[in-house]
Amino acid sequence: MKLPKGFKASAVASGIKPQGLDLALIFSESPCKVAGVFTSNRVKAAPVIYSKSIVKKGIAQAIIANSGCANACTGKEGIKDAEEMANAVERALNLKPRSVLVASTGVIGKKLPLEKIKAALPSLIRGLSHENFQDVALAIMTTDTRPKIKSVEVKCGRLKGTILGIAKGAGMISPNLATMLCFLITDLVCEPQILQSCLKEAVSLSFNRISVDGEQSTNDTVLLMANGLEGPLGEKEIPIFKEALTSLTMDLAKEIVKDAEGATKFVKISIKGAKSDPEAKKAAFRIANSLLVKTALFGEDPNWGRIMAALGDSGTKFNPDKVCIWMNGLKVASEGKGLNIDHNELSKVLKNKEILIEIDLKEGKGKFEVFTCDLSYDYVRINAEYTT
């Protein structure tokens, strides 16, 4: 995997979690232009509030992140802890004030164990290396079963840069964004306003098109740092960069859904023929978040009527007598009525690990796609035992 120039990473076990890596640092050898997209949840964790203020400034040089404690619903003290977490890194690395971004993930309502973080900082900084990004991906995991890390090369005329993405997320996944952290770094660069625009569009086409359980978190954070060591992007090169960024975030978004808590199926819901794209979006997410649809998919039960019922409850305007539905290419409903299909044939289709549900509303040109999963016994078990 190719890495962008000028970045180092490190991760350690600081004791925030009972075992395993739980504290990570990404550092650029030179200051970066930055962009960020954060949860739209009204309840925002302290690191979200603090990092938003740094992103507004447009310049940063490092990200420190922890798992095991969300530092959410901790009041003014929590914001002070997030700021001190950043300040401690700035002092240790001799960086300018307010040049470190912060992210946290874990249980809501617990105080951040700041002393453990400070005690671990010397070893965290000693471990900084160009080779340790995989450890960062491990350190930010909570209920994830595997790390999520990918890179993409970007050829922009005279420039040949790289974007690296590291993400975590498996539950509490629903726009906008999802219970997730994502750190993106690149050796290309453009002005913060353009960087922000590129990131916002990439997120809208990737992380904001996934849903595991319809639940949104307090800590969702996507950060992009660009140090420009490969060179600045010209006006004609921005679209190429944006396309690569979107491709990378989409790959990471799909990895989150495939690693969803207890999931056994990766599901794509494709709506076409809606009156508009927003109408298609409403329909797609209503079906993706339907507990009855998700449990039917887990049970490999060919009950397409659950899809139809969720569609009718979506608020999308359509004529039920026009609707056609396909499941993995097999047409199960036409003009709003079920087709005479052998039950066993349809059950066989649902045994696939990847399911495509296509719906044509025949009302217009609106379309939208959502990626989701089934809902299993394990999802209930994992979340029933999350804090114990």
DSSP-derived letter for residue 205 is T
Question: For position 174, what pLDDT does the model report?
Answer: 47
Q: Residue 240 belongs to what H/E stretch?
A: helix 238-258
Question: For position 168, what pLDDT does the model report?
Answer: 92
Question: For position 301, what pLDDT does the model report?
Answer: 81
Average pLDDT (210-234) is: 87
- pLDDT tens track for 102-150: 999 988 999 999 999 999 999 999 999 999 999 999 999 988 888 999 9
**Protein fold of 266-384:** Ubiquitin-like (UB roll) (3.10.20)
* Ranges in the chain annotated CATH 3.10.20.340: 266-384
* Ranges in the chain annotated CATH 3.60.70.12: 7-258
Q: Which distant-in-sequence residues (6+ apart) come within 8 Å of 49 by Cβ?
A: 79, 82
Residue 173 has pLDDT above 50, yes or no: no
- pLDDT tens track for 20-78: 999 999 999 999 999 999 988 889 999 999 999 999 999 999 999 999 999 999 999 99
Q: How far apart are CA 226 and CA 264, in angstroms?
A: 37
Residue 272: φ, ψ to 5°: -135, 165
Q: How far apart are CA 25 and CA 364, in angstroms?
A: 49
- pLDDT tens track for 296-321: 999 888 788 999 999 999 999 999 99
Joined tokens for residue 268: 């794509």
Is position 295 annotated as part of the catalytic site?
no
Average pLDDT (204-212) is: 87
Tell me which residue has tokens 């993930």. Answer: 105
Amino acid identity of residue 341, one-letter, is I
Helix (H, G, I), strand (E, B) or coil at 101: strand
This prediction's pTM = 0.91
pLDDT above 90 covers a percentage of the chain that reads 74
Q: How far apart are CA 225 and CA 240, in angstroms?
A: 17
Letter string b/e over residues 138-161, b meaning 16 or more CB atoms within 10 A of that residue's CB: bbbbbbbeebbbbbbebebeebeb
Residue 2 has pLDDT above 50, yes or no: yes
Contact 371, 267 (CB under 8 A): yes
Q: Identify which has the larger pLDDT, 218 or 281.
A: 281
How do beta strands 7-12 and 23-38 pair?
antiparallel
**Protein fold of 7-258:** L-amino peptidase D-ALA esterase/amidase (3.60.70)
Residue among 105, 142, 143, 179 flagged as catalytic: 179
**Cross-strand bridge partners of residue 33:** 59, 226
pLDDT band at 224 (very low <50, low <70, confident <90, very high): very high
